[in-house]
């Protein structure tokens, strides 16, 4: 996660709704229009089923209250606006309570193609479709609960499991690779890259290997982990992840596959 943001959170009104300007709604409209065909083509069936269930507005920034109403009826999750950046402890605590923390601002035109930190397009368009599916809803909750039981020094180990699945995971579907991750669903360039580029490594899903794999948040990922079938992810949520972290720590991190700058 980024340590600083150029953006300021937009605070909800007393009724929970956030006022977006005309220009902000137009940015959403244009991001949505560009990315809809891409997720139909490259994202996993599970993502697209959720995307259809949500029926997000195409022409304006969705309200967290409206998305929450749909999610709560399906899986008991809700989306809560938060400041642009929150710590891991708060993040895990919210997931454990089936509450998805959403950065409420939307990127400006100058960051239209790429933004390092999550904005509401990433949070809603990227994340909420999978949260309509009880299996991903449960997995996300279990990550939160596992995080709550860890010491702060171990947070960065557990977050890799979230990063390489919910954010940037791939799966096999329809005879090829498909994107599961929200960071892929909200990125016009990394979505096709993750599925098709010969430059990316694609490794079989393995919890210990994932925990040992460092990443950078500000580049296309050099390595993705591929679920053979989506149900393999849900088995991972039943593991003793604290024990897995100790195993991973005893074996050590893999050497980074990118120029070293930062580890999130
Ligand atoms: Fe995210």
Split at pLDDT 50, 70, 90, the class of 4 is low
CA of 174 to the centre of ligand 1 (A): 25
- Span 10-38, average pLDDT: 97
Residue 110 resides in a domain? yes
Spatial separation of the C-alpha atoms in residues 96 and 228, rounded to whole Å: 26
Backbone phi, then psi, for 259, in 5-degree steps?
Answer: -60, 130
CA of 167 to the centre of ligand 1 (A): 6
Spatial separation of the C-alpha atoms in residues 233 and 135, rounded to whole Å: 9
- Span 195-217, average pLDDT: 97
Residue 183 near residue 126, CB atoms below 8 Å? yes
Residue 166 resides in a domain? yes
Listed in order, strand segments (DSSP E) in 189-242 are 201-204, 223-227
Residue 4 resides in a domain? no
- For the chain, what percentages of helix, strand and coil (3-state, to nearest 5) are there? 50, 10, 40
Residue 205 resides in a domain? yes
CA of 228 to the centre of ligand 1 (A): 22
CA of 145 to the centre of ligand 1 (A): 18
Residue 67 resides in a domain? yes
- Span 47-58, average pLDDT: 98
Task: Encode pLDDT of 28-51 as tens digits.
Answer: 999 999 999 999 999 999 999 999
Residue 209 resides in a domain? yes
CA atoms within 13 A on the CB side of 178: 19
- Span 176-197, average pLDDT: 97
Residue 204 resides in a domain? yes
Tell the burial category of 234 from Cβ atoms under 10 Å away from its Cβ (0-12, 13-18, 19+): middle
Q: Supply the pLDDT for residue 264.
A: 47
Residue 258 resides in a domain? no
Residue 131 near residue 137, CB atoms below 8 Å? yes
182 is in which domain, residue-wise?
22-251
Task: Encode pLDDT of 102-119 as tens digits.
Answer: 999 999 999 998 888 899
Looking at 61-65, 84-88, 116-120, 228-232, which range is the least confident one? Answer: 84-88
CA of 181 to the centre of ligand 1 (A): 8
Question: What's the pTM?
Answer: 0.94
Total structural domains in the chain? 1
Looking at 67-81, 116-130, 148-162, 249-263, which range is the least confident one? Answer: 249-263
Cα 19 to Cα 7, 27, 88, distances in angstroms: 16, 14, 28
105 SS3 class: coil
Q: Supply the pLDDT for residue 1.
A: 45
- Span 9-25, average pLDDT: 95
DSSP summary character for residue 118 = -
Cα 171 → chain centroid: 15
CA of 166 to the centre of ligand 1 (A): 8
Residue 95 near residue 139, CB atoms below 8 Å? no
CATH of the domain at 96: 1.10.800.10
Residue 87 falls in which region: left (phi positive, over 0), alpha (psi -120 to 50) or beta? beta
Split at pLDDT 50, 70, 90, the class of 262 is low
216 SS3 class: coil
């Amino acid at each position: 996660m980024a340590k600083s943001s150029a953006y300021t959170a937009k605070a909800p009104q007393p009724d929970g709704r956030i006022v977006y300007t005309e220009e902000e709604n137009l940015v959403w409209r244009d991001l949505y229009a560009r990315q809809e065909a891409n997720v139909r083509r490259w994202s996993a069936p599970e993502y697209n089923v959720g995307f259809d269930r949500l029926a997000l507005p195409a022409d304006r920034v969705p309200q967290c209250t409206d998305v929450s109403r749909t999610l709560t009826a399906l899986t008991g999750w809700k989306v809560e606006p938060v400041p642009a950046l929150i710590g891991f402890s708060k993040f895990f605590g919210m997931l454990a309570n089936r509450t998805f923390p959403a950065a409420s601002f939307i990127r400006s035109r100058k960051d239209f193609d790429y933004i390092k930190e999550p904005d509401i397009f990433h949070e809603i368009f990227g994340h909420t479709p999978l949260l309509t599916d009880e299996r991903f809803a449960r997995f996300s909750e279990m990550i939160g609960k596992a995080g709550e039981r860890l010491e702060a020094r171990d947070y960065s180990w557990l977050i890799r499991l979230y990063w390489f699945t919910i954010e940037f995971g791939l799966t096999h579907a329809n005879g090829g690779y498909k994107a599961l991750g929200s960071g892929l669903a909200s990125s016009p360039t990394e979505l096709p890259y993750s599925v098709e580029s010969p430059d990316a490594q694609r490794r079989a899903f393995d919890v210990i290997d994932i925990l040992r794999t460092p990443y950078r948040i500000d580049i296309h990922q050099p390595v993705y982990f591929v679920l053979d079938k989506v149900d393999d992810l849900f088995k991972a949520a039943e593991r003793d992840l604290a024990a897995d972290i100790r195993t991973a720590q005893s074996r050590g991190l893999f050497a980074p596959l990118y120029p070293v700058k930062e580890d999130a």
